[in-house]
């Protein structure tokens, strides 16, 4: 049997050049896509880890309004639309009432966040960086709307956690996580291709793995 032909040096160089080109392309594209997100999540990771260092005094604003008589009657006539088969007191507001609240108080009544009782309607209005709620007195139509703002840092921290941020931000986090994963994996393959010329490559990668692992084993109980 004749020995297998040796791999031509030019062929190996061409394969290396091919992978370098494509890995660099995916690496810089994913880096560009997740750059701002990485800065945001890095900064908010620090502020979350040192929340006691950052003082914030919540600002509370209370506004009142009067629901028009015809809309109040609409509430009494409709009784709300129940959300789901086992939603209890959670119901949806009539569409015209929800539109009036959005137009006059910038309040979006989300399904499942509106609780009805015999004398009032309560809307839970969670938001990043604070909280809010609204009540409608079913006897007189008086509306009370309270908004609590815990500041810009708290807002960014809630973006980091995805707390009360809605479906669009949740989708952004998923896309960002995918881009960051591509950035990291392509970076790992680029390290492999350049490791022969950089002797510290794998010791540094090993340190990046061993350090958090040892900290978790020794200090987290």
User: Tens digit of pLDDT for each residue in 77-108?
Assistant: 876 555 544 445 667 899 999 999 999 999 98
Percent of the chain residues past pLDDT 90, beyond the cut: 71
CA distance 64 to 4: 86
pTM of this structure:
0.79
Query: Strand 130-137 vs strand 120-124: parallel, antiparallel, or unpaired?
Result: antiparallel
**Ranges of each domain in the chain:** 59-153, 165-221
DSSP-assigned letters across all residues of the chain: -PPPPPPPHHHHHHHHHHHHHHHHHHHHHHHHHHHHHHHHHHHHHHHHHTGGGS----EEEEEEEE--HHHHHHHHHH--EE-STT-TTBEEPPHHHHHHHHHHH-----TT-EEE-SSEEEEE--BTTEEEEEEEETTT-EEEEEEEE--HHHHHHHHHHTTT-HHHHHHHHHHHHHHHHHHHHHHHHHHHHHGGG-TTHHHHHHHHHHHHHHHHHHH--
User: Tens digit of pLDDT for each residue in 28-58?
Assistant: 999 999 999 999 999 999 999 998 888 888 9
Kindly indicate the confidence band of residue 146, based on its pLDDT and cuts at 50, 70 and 90: very high
pLDDT at residue 157 is higher than 80: yes
User: Tens digit of pLDDT for each residue in 170-180?
Assistant: 999 999 999 99
pLDDT at residue 133 is higher than 50: yes
| Contact indicator for 96, 71 with CB cutoff of 8 Å | yes
pLDDT at residue 161 is higher than 50: yes
């Amino acid at each position: 049997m004749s020995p297998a032909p040796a791999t031509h040096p030019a062929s190996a160089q061409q394969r290396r050049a091919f992978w370098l080109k494509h890995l660099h392309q995916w690496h810089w594209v994913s880096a560009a896509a997740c750059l701002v997100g990485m800065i945001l999540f890095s900064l908010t990771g620090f502020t979350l880890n040192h929340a006691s260092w950052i003082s914030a005094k919540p600002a509370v604003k209370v506004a009142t309004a009067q629901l028009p008589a015809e809309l109040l009657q609409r509430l009494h006539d409709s009784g709300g639309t129940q959300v789901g088969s086992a939603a209890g007191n959670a119901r949806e507001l009539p569409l015209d009432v929800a539109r009036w609240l959005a137009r006059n108080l910038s309040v979006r009544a989300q399904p499942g966040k509106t609780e009805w009782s015999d004398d009032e309607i309560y809307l839970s209005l969670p938001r990043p960086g604070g909280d809010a709620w609204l009540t409608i007195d079913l006897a007189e139509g008086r509306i009370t709307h309270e908004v609590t703002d815990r500041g810009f840092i708290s807002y960014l921290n809630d973006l980091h956690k995805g707390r009360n941020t809605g479906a669009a931000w949740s989708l952004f986090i998923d896309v960002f996580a995918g881009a960051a994963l591509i950035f990291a994996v392509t970076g790992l393959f680029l390290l492999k291709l350049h490791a022969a010329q950089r002797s510290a490559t794998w010791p540094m990668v090993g340190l990046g793995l061993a350090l958090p692992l040892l900290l978790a084993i020794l200090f987290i109980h």
